[in-house]
Amino acid sequence: MKKEIYTYTLPKELTVLFLVGPATLLLFSIIFYLKQSHIASVIFFMGAFFFAASSTYKKFIYFDDELNSIFINKTYLGATVTASEIKITPESKLKLFTEKHKGRGSMGYTEISGFLTLAITGKTQGAPFEEKVLCSEHRDDEKKLFMEHVKHISEAINIQVIES
């Protein structure tokens, strides 16, 4: 039976950006349309549409205990854009680690954040054995909730989490 074990939606802090951004692009589209610049108007209108559509991003992770597989679906506007399957084997491991990302600061490259990341190894269609990232969190105030999700995922698929 297929069971949803994790859902990711964009943070609420981005709501303002996803309201103001498309509205601004739509305003520019109207201005260019009124000035008889139809090509620019269409470009800004399409930008507004794609910006607004990107605000509907969701990631769903399902576990099917009959197939012993994890399914990862990424959706925009409610339609699945990418779907992948990971077959869990006896060698599969659930790893929790901190992934470091570097950003460009005013004095060169500096480490800007560490993403707490949960990944699983298993069989995929593309490779015999592969590691796939399930979910990650970089905001410190959300890490406690993220750890609860990790525990729930671990219990649902019956694999212990290995911290590295």
Q: Where are the alpha helices (DSSP H) in the chain?
A: 15-34, 38-54, 143-157
d(CA 117, CA 157): 17
User: Which of 99-103, 112-116, 160-164 reaches the highest mean pLDDT?
Assistant: 160-164
Q: Which residue type sits at 136? A: S
Exposed, middle or buried: residue 86 (CB in 10 Å: 0-12, 13-18, 19+)? Answer: buried
Q: Would you list the domain boundaries of the chain?
A: 1-87, 88-164
Neighbours of 76 (CB within 10 A): 15
Q: What is the pLDDT of residues 43-93, one digit of tens each?
A: 999 999 999 999 999 999 999 989 889 999 999 999 999 999 988 888 888
